[in-house]
Amino acid sequence: MSPIFGGKQRHPTDTTAAADVSDEWGWRFSLKGSPRHYDDVVEIVERGGDAAVYFGEALTYERGAGVALWRIKARGFSWLPTLYDWWAEQERLEPVQFTFYLYIPPALNVAALDLREHEPAAVEQFIRQRAPRE
């Protein structure tokens, strides 16, 4: 997000958070979702230390719609149930439903999963089986 809107946009060369997982292997994948929740999702993903957003865009446009992009490298998935809990609370507080879409490289133009349709354990298993590791 730009400074005008009060958020922080992570630049592709910003290694402040990604340094925690950059030297070790991890699964690489992307999430897309609501720009409104960009900073919260970055915090949730990085809080446990077993994943990092190595590139993010708080607001980008895809087929005319505004979306946020989080490119993630994860050694573990302890953050995933936390994301689902936070997501449920956000929808309880506000009458607006939103979702997250999972993208697996190299097919970054077609969503592999809609997270709303799957439990956290199933999403984790899907990523472990299909996402590239480095």
* Tens of pLDDT, residues 17-46: 444 445 567 999 999 999 999 999 999 999
First to last CA, the chain: 28
Residue 9 reports pLDDT greater than 80:
no
The values of phi and psi at residue 131, to 5°, are -75, 145
- pTM for the structure as a whole: 0.80
Residue 26's pLDDT is what? 94
At 15, the pLDDT band (50, 70, 90 cuts) reads very low
The tally of CA atoms less than 13 A away on the side-chain side of residue 10 is: 23
* Cross-strand partners of 114: 101
70-86 in b/e burial notation, b at 16+ Cβ within 10 A? bbbbbbebebbebbbeb
Q: Per-residue pLDDT averaged across 47-55, rounded? A: 94
46 by DSSP, 3-state: which? Answer: helix
Cα 23 to Cα 1: distance, rounded to the nearest angstrom: 27
Q: Which residue has the higher pLDDT, 101 or 4?
A: 101
Residue 50 reports pLDDT greater than 90:
yes
Cα 50 to Cα 32: distance, rounded to the nearest angstrom: 20
Q: Average model confidence (pLDDT) for the chain? A: 85
Cα 16 to Cα 129: distance, rounded to the nearest angstrom: 28
What is the total count of domains within the chain? 1
Which CATH number goes with the domain that contains 81?
3.30.70
Domain range spanning residue 22? Answer: 3-130
Q: Which residue has the higher pLDDT, 124 or 23?
A: 124
